[in-house]
Amino acid sequence: MKAIQIKQPGGPEAMELVDLPVPEPKANEAVVTLAASGVNFIDVYQREGRYKVPLPFVLGQEGAGTVTAVGGHVKSVKVGDRVAWTGVLGAYAEYAAVPEDRLVPIAAGVTDQQAAAALLQGMTAHYLSHSTYPLKRGETALVHAAAGGVGLLLVQMAHAIGARVIATVSTEEKAKLAREAGADDVILYTQADFEAETKRLTGGKGVDVVYDSVGKTTFEKGLNILRPRGMMALYGGSSGAVPPFDLIVLSQKGSLFVTRPTLGHYTLTRDELMARAGAVFGMMAAGKLKLRIEHKYSLAEAQRAHRDLEGRKTTGKLLLIP
Ligand code: NDP
């Protein structure tokens, strides 16, 4: 089978298209033929070596497709079932072996491509807005990179809750998408100072929560626009890692909360995974969550997909179609 393998961490050129044997399922695994693999920023961190993975490895944390073989202990899925998963390496490939307890059945009315596009980023948007800082009607959230994969879904969920959403994006085209997703105000943070703009938009009060996936270039200013006892949910570092900082700053800026959440800890048990995936698929099936799948690439084009994602050229979701 064709797969994208990393032998040494590096730039996009570190991704090699290779031929590997189709995996055999272990006792607790199912083998899935992939209809689509999700491209996510974590793939960039793992490719670069910012997140360490034993070498060599097949990249990719998210996929959807049809079960072709099951191990001897597998009970909940059978050959022919449509399934999706996230949090298991090896999805940039034609086949993947996935532990049974990470597989989520794809709901009727949701296509394989939609499932691969929604699971990781949809559940991330869901845990951020419903669990990390459970937004309430009338509260105000600042969402950075609001036209990105997670961003567009997070804006829709926050808007559906009834929160006011202030969004940041880098271009007018992205601003339009953020507004369509439900953002009340959009700041072009590459042109305007988002700290000053957010203070102006909130009459100096600040926001209840900042959902920050950009990190290095936004974190510090984000602390300055929180209301007293507000929360900074730093969930990524697309611009680079946030440098270490002194905790006393949190006291000085208003007894703030900072958390650095990760999806794995918000899908800890089988029940939590199924509930969150079910909530996301449910919103999609009800037409309450719209996916933007603008960018599709073949496995052989994986390098280009990463260049586009890192180059801030994309909006919404990127998929590899094996
Ligand atoms: P996005 O589609 O959001 O792409 C990243 C976006 O970040 C860009 O489009 C760009 O938007 C913005 N950005 C700002 N500065 C930079 C920069 N210097 N270089 C590149 N991009 C920049 O990606 P994803 O939706 O896949 O992921 C978003 C973030 O969420 C990532 O940091 C990822 O690691 C994180 N994440 C975290 C999870 C968790 O559980 N903790 C789970 C899923 C994702 P613009 O042009 O508008 O500035």
Residues 171-208: pLDDT tens digits? 999 999 999 999 999 999 999 999 999 999 999 999 99
Q: Is 39 exposed, middle or buried (0-12, 13-18, 19+ CB in 10 A)?
A: buried
Could you report the per-residue pLDDT of 14-39, keeping only the tens digit for each? 999 999 999 999 999 999 999 999 99
Question: Cβ(263) to ligand 1 under 6 A?
Answer: yes
* The predicted structure's pLDDT at residue 108: 87
* The predicted structure's pLDDT at residue 229: 98
Question: Cβ(151) to ligand 1 under 6 A?
Answer: yes
Pocket test for ligand 1, best of 214, 291, 292, 319 (most atoms within 8 A of CB): 214
| Ligand 1: residue whose CA is nearest its atom 8 | 312
| Count of H-run helices and E-run strands, the chain | 9, 16
Pocket test for ligand 1, best of 312, 313, 318, 320 (most atoms within 8 A of CB): 312
CA distance linking residue 83 with residue 64, whole number of Å: 6
| Ligand 1: residue whose CA is nearest its atom 24 | 149
Could you report the per-residue pLDDT of 249-307, keeping only the tens digit for each? 999 999 999 999 999 999 999 999 999 999 999 999 899 999 999 889 999 999 999 99
CA distance linking residue 288 with residue 281, whole number of Å: 10
Question: Cβ(122) to ligand 1 under 6 A?
Answer: no
* The predicted structure's pLDDT at residue 271: 97
* The predicted structure's pLDDT at residue 9: 98
| Ligand 1: residue whose CA is nearest its atom 12 | 145
CA distance linking residue 114 with residue 64, whole number of Å: 9
CA distance linking residue 128 with residue 234, whole number of Å: 10
Question: Cβ(178) to ligand 1 under 6 A?
Answer: no
pLDDT range class, residue 170, cuts 50, 70, 90: very high
> Which ligand 1 atom lies nearest to the CA of residue 174?
47
> Which ligand 1 atom lies nearest to the CA of residue 168?
47
Question: Cβ(87) to ligand 1 under 6 A?
Answer: no
CA distance linking residue 295 with residue 271, whole number of Å: 32
Question: Cβ(148) to ligand 1 under 6 A?
Answer: yes
| Residue 262 Cα to ligand 1 middle (Å) | 14
* The predicted structure's pLDDT at residue 158: 98
Amino acid at 43: D
Over residues 164-174, mean pLDDT: 98
Q: What is the mean pLDDT of the chain?
A: 97
Question: Cβ(262) to ligand 1 under 6 A?
Answer: yes
Question: Cβ(176) to ligand 1 under 6 A?
Answer: no
Percent of the chain whose predicted confidence (pLDDT) is above 70: 100
pLDDT range class, residue 60, cuts 50, 70, 90: very high
Question: Cβ(147) to ligand 1 under 6 A?
Answer: yes
Percent of the chain whose predicted confidence (pLDDT) is above 90: 98
For residue 109, pLDDT over 90 is answered with no
> How far, in Å, are 39, 135, 258, 312 from residue 83 at the CA level?
17, 30, 35, 30
* The predicted structure's pLDDT at residue 294: 82
Question: Cβ(177) to ligand 1 under 6 A?
Answer: no
Give phi and psi for 29, each to the nearest 5: -115, 155
Q: Is 255 helix (H, G, I), strand (E, B) or coil?
A: coil
Any residues with CB less than 8 A from the CB of 107 and at least 6 apart, and which?
278, 281, 282, 285
| Residue 145 Cα to ligand 1 middle (Å) | 6
